[in-house]
Chains A and B, each alone.
Chain A
Amino acid sequence: MNLRGIVDKMKAPFDKGQKLEKLYPAFNAFETFLFVPNHTSKTGAHIRDGIDLKRVMITVIIALLPALFYGIYNTGYQYLYQTGEEFTVLDAVIHGSYKILPMIAVSYIVGLGIEFAFAVFRGHQVNEGYLVTGLLIPMIMPVDIPLWMVAISVAFAVLIGKEAFGGTGMNILNPALTARAFAFFAYPTYMSGNQVWVSEASNVDGVSGETILGMLAAGGSTDQFSMMDMFIGSIPGSIAETSTLMVLIGAFILIYTGVGSWRIMVGSVIGAALTGMLFNLWGANELMSFDWYNHIIVGGFAFGVVFMATDPVSAAQTLKGKWIYGVLVGVFCILIRVFNPAYPEGVMLAILLMNVFAPTIDHYVIDASIKRREKRLNSKLKMA
C-alpha cells in the first residue's frame, strides 16, 4: 500500500458523520502537511498560482535558517570564549544546540497545541502562520531564559496576541514580538541587564553577559568589538539576532522570492540611517555618537526589520504605506535606543508601536486614492 492509501484509510474516521469528525481540522493539518490536496478550482479562475500559505511560510523559515544556525554557534562561542578554555566549532555548536533546541521544541509544542485546539474548537483549518512565529520566538529570546517562561510567553502571544483577535490574519501585533514584549515586562530580570545575554553568564563568574547597546547605555566603551564583529555577529545578544550577515542572507531570500517586502526593509534602513546621522551630529552621549552605520548592524535592528517588521498581517498593507511604516520603524528604533536608557534595544518597541499605527497609515494612504476619485468627479461636475 502506498503512503496515499494509508492516509486515506486513516482519514475515514474523521469524515463527516464519523466518530472523530470534530477533530477533522487536526487531521487535515497532518494530511495537508504530507500532501498538497487534490482540490480543484470550482469557481473563479480555473488555474491557480503555485504559491500557497504553506509555501510562503516555509520560505520564511528557510530565510531564517542561516541566522538560526549562526545563533546556535554564537551561543556556544560567547560562552566558551569567555571561560577561556580551548574549544572547537563543534563544541560551540553542541553547547548552543543544548541550550536552544529545547526552547524551539517548547515553543512549537505549546504554540501549535493552542493553534490546533482553536482550529478544532472553531472548526476551521489550522493556519500555517505559527510555523514561522514558533521559530521566531526562541530566536529573539536571551539564551538563559527558563523554558517555562518561553512556554508562558508563547501561550500569551498566541491566545491574547492572535486568537483573541480572531486568529491568523486578524492580529494587530506581531505575535512573536508580543511574546518577547510579554517576557520583557513580566520577567525583566531575565530579559535585560548585563547578566543574561551570554549563556550561563549569571551562574559562572568571569562571564559577562552584556550587549554592546547595554554597555553604551551605561556610558561604557565598546572598543573590544570591531565593526566586523558586529557585522558577522560574534557579539552577545538575543539568540539569533546578532549576525547582520546571516540576516542579510535571509533578507536576500525573502526579497528574491518576493515573499518579504523590500519596501519595509529599505524604508527602515533609510529611517534609521537618517536618524542615526542626525544624532551623530548632535553627539551628546555615547549612544548618540555611536556611528549610524553601527546602529544598523548592532542589536536586533537588522533581524527586526527583516523578519518582524515585514510580517504582512501586522505591517502596513498598502505599497505606499509600507514605505512610511518602514521609515518610521527605523526612526523610532533609534529614538528609543538613544533617549530611553532603560531600553537600550529599541527595535522591538518600535515595531510594536508601528504595528499599532499601521492601520492608521493605510487609512490615510487609501484616503488619498478616494480623494483623487472624488476630485475627478467634482472637476467633471464643474465642467458640466
Chain B
Amino acid sequence: MSKGIVIKNGLSINIKGVADKELKKVPLPNKLALILDDFHLIMPKLLVKEGDTVKRGQPIFYSKSNENIKFVSPSHGKIEKIVRGERRKILEITISTDKNDSAIKHKIPALEKIKRENIIDILLESGCWPFIKQRPFDIIADPLQNPKSIFISCFDSAPLSVDFEFILKDQIESFKYGLKILEKITPGNLNIGVNRNQEFLNKELDDFNKNIFSGPHPSGNVGVQIHHIDPINIGESVWIIRPEDVCIIGNLFLEGEFIPTRTLAVSGPPINNPKYFRTVIGAKLQSILNLIDFKNGIQCRIINGDVLTGKTVEPDSYVGFYNNNISVLKEGNNYKLFGWIPFINNSVPSIYRSSFGWLNSSEPKEYDTNLNGEERAFVVTGEMEKVFPMDIYPMQLVKECMIGDIEKMERLGIYEVAPEDFALIDYASSSKIEAQTIVRNGLDYLIKETL
C-alpha cells in the first residue's frame, strides 16, 4: 500500500471517553425536528402548516433562493410546531411521529441508463440534495453548478469523533452504491479520502478513486484533503458529502425511499461506557440521552457535533442534520487560583510545554470548556501555522476577514478554507481568538458582496 499523503502540521487531541465500538439501536423517538440553523444561509419557504400529516420524505420547506432544493420530513408524523424566533425567523420545525411508516416513493431508473440530470432531479425531489455541500463557502451546493470534482472524507480526525469505518461496515453496500451514483454526477473525479489505518475501507474501496492520508487532525477534514489533491482556484467549486449521507443516497437509489439513518458516536469524559447509537436525523436528543450512563454530579455541556466544531444544545433539542457526533464535556465554569502560572494546573494540556502536562501527553485527558484565559490582542505568532496544514497564512487570512478586504481575502486563499479548518486555531490560540466565527463571517461577507 502506498504511503499516501502525510499531513504534518496539526494536532491530535486525546480526550477521555472515546466511544466503544458497540452499536445500539434507538427506537424511533416520538418527536423529531429539523433545525434551520443547520442549513447555513437557507431562507425557508414552508410547504406545510402546524397540524398537517406528512409522510417520510415529504417536503416540509424549500429554499427561497432555489425552490428545487427541498427539505423533507425524516419520518411519518404530524407537524407539531413551527418554532419561530425574532422577526418570525423559523428556528425549528418539530414533528411528532406515529406508528405509521409510509414514505414517498421515487421512481428510480436502472443504474446503467440513469443520466446526470436524472440523478440531480431525484436528489432534489427526495430531499437528499442538502447533503451535498460546496466549497468554497461551505454552504449547500447549487444544483445548477458544474463542480470540478466531488470529495468525500471517510475518516474524521477530530477529538472524540466518529469512526466511519465502524459505522460504514454494515452499510457498505449502500455506501458503494451511493458512490457509484455520485461518480455519475461529477464531471471530474470522485475523490475519496481514507486513513492509512482503515484496513476494511481501503480494501472495499479499491475500485474507487481513493487517496490515502495519515497524520494528525485535521487530516480528516475534507478541505485539507482538497487542498492537497485538487486545490480550489478562484471561480471553481467542489462538492463534498459526508460518508453516512452517501449511504442515504445509496439507499434512495436502491429502495426508492428517503431513509435518514443516523449513527452517532456519543462520547465524552462525563459518560460511563460511551458507545454508538443508531437513530434518525432530527431525533429528539432525550431519546438517546436517556440511554446513557452519566457520571454523577457533573454539570455537562451537550454538543451537536465534535468538540471543536459542534454547537452547544440543550438536552431537549434534536440531533443535527449533518453531525455523526454527540459530544459531552464538563462545563469548566470554575475559577483557578493562580492558574496562569506555568506548572500549576498541569492537568490542562497545551501545545506549549509550559506545564508538566506534556510528560504524559499520550494519555487521554479530561478536557473541560474553560477558556483557560481571557481574550487578548494578537501577540504570539507561529502557533496558528503549527496546526494549519495548508499553503495559506492563517493569521493573515483571519486578520483580513476581520477587516473585510475582499481582494486580500481572495489572494490569501479564502476559497480553499471552511470554518472547520480553523477549529484547531480556536483551540491553540493563546489570545483566545474565535477564528471559526471570524472566518464564517468573512465567508458570509464574501457571499453577500460577490454572489
Q: Chain A interface (Cβ within 8 Å of chain B)?
A: 3-4, 32-41, 43-56, 58-59, 62, 125, 127-129, 167-170, 256-259, 261, 312-313, 315, 317-319, 322, 366, 369-370, 372-373, 376-377, 380
Beta-carbon nearest neighbor of A35 in chain B = B335
Q: Taking CB as reference atom, which chain A residue is nearest B310? A: A46
Shortest CB-to-CB span from B231 to chain A, Å, is 7
List B349-366 residues whose CB lies under 8 Å from chain A.
349-355, 357
Is there a chain A Cβ closer than 8 Å to B378's Cβ? yes
Contact with A along B408-428 (1 / 0, CB 8 A): 000111000000000110111
A174 to chain B, nearest CB (A): 13
Q: Which 8 A-B pairs have the closest CB atoms?
A: A52-B373, A169-B377, A36-B339, A50-B348, A54-B340, A45-B426, A50-B350, A44-B426
Contact status A35-B377, CB under 8 Å: no
- Which B residues are within 8 Å of any A CB, using their own CB? 13, 15, 159, 231, 233-234, 301, 303, 307-310, 312, 327, 329, 331-342, 345, 348-355, 357, 367-382, 385, 391-393, 395-396, 411-413, 423-424, 426-432, 434-437
User: Given the known A-B contacts A49-B428, A168-B376, A376-B233, are A366 and B381 also in contact in the complex, defined by CB atoms under 8 Å?
Assistant: no
Given A55-B342, A56-B380, A56-B430, also A47-B369 (CB < 8 A) = yes
Judging by beta carbons under 8 Å apart, are B342 and A45 in contact?
no
A373 interface neighbour in B15, B340, B411, Cβ under 8 Å: B411
CB < 8 Å A-B pair total: 218
With beta carbons under 8 angstroms apart, the residue of B333, B338, B354 that contacts A51 is: B354
Question: What CA separation (Å) do A39 and B332 show in the bound complex?
Answer: 8
B380 pairs with A46, CB closer than 8 A: no
Q: Specify which chain B residues have a CB less than 8 angstroms from the CB of A256 in the assembled complex.
A: 353
CB <8 Å contact, A58 and B428: no
- Give Cα distance in the complex from A376 to B380, angstroms: 31
Partner of B376, one of A59, A125, A258: A125
Specify which chain A residues have a CB less than 8 angstroms from the CB of B332 in the assembled complex. 38, 40
B350 to chain A: which residues have CB within 8 Å?
A: 49-51
B379 touching A53, Cβ below 8 Å: yes
CB pair B354–A55 under 8 Å, yes or no, is yes
Give Cα A38–Cα B336 distance, bound, in whole angstroms.
8
Chain A CB within 10 Å, residue with most, of B231, B309, B370, B424 = B370
Residues on A with C-beta less than 8 A from B334 are: 38
A347 to chain B, nearest CB (A): 21
Please give the distance in Å from B151's CB to the nearest CB on chain A: 17
> Roughly how many angstroms separate A170 CA and B379 CA in the complex, as a whole number?
9
How distant is B223 from chain A, measured CB to nearest CB, in Å? 15
Q: Contact between B374 and A45 (Cβ–Cβ < 8 Å)?
A: no
Q: Which residues of A contact B301 (CB under 8 A)?
A: 40, 46
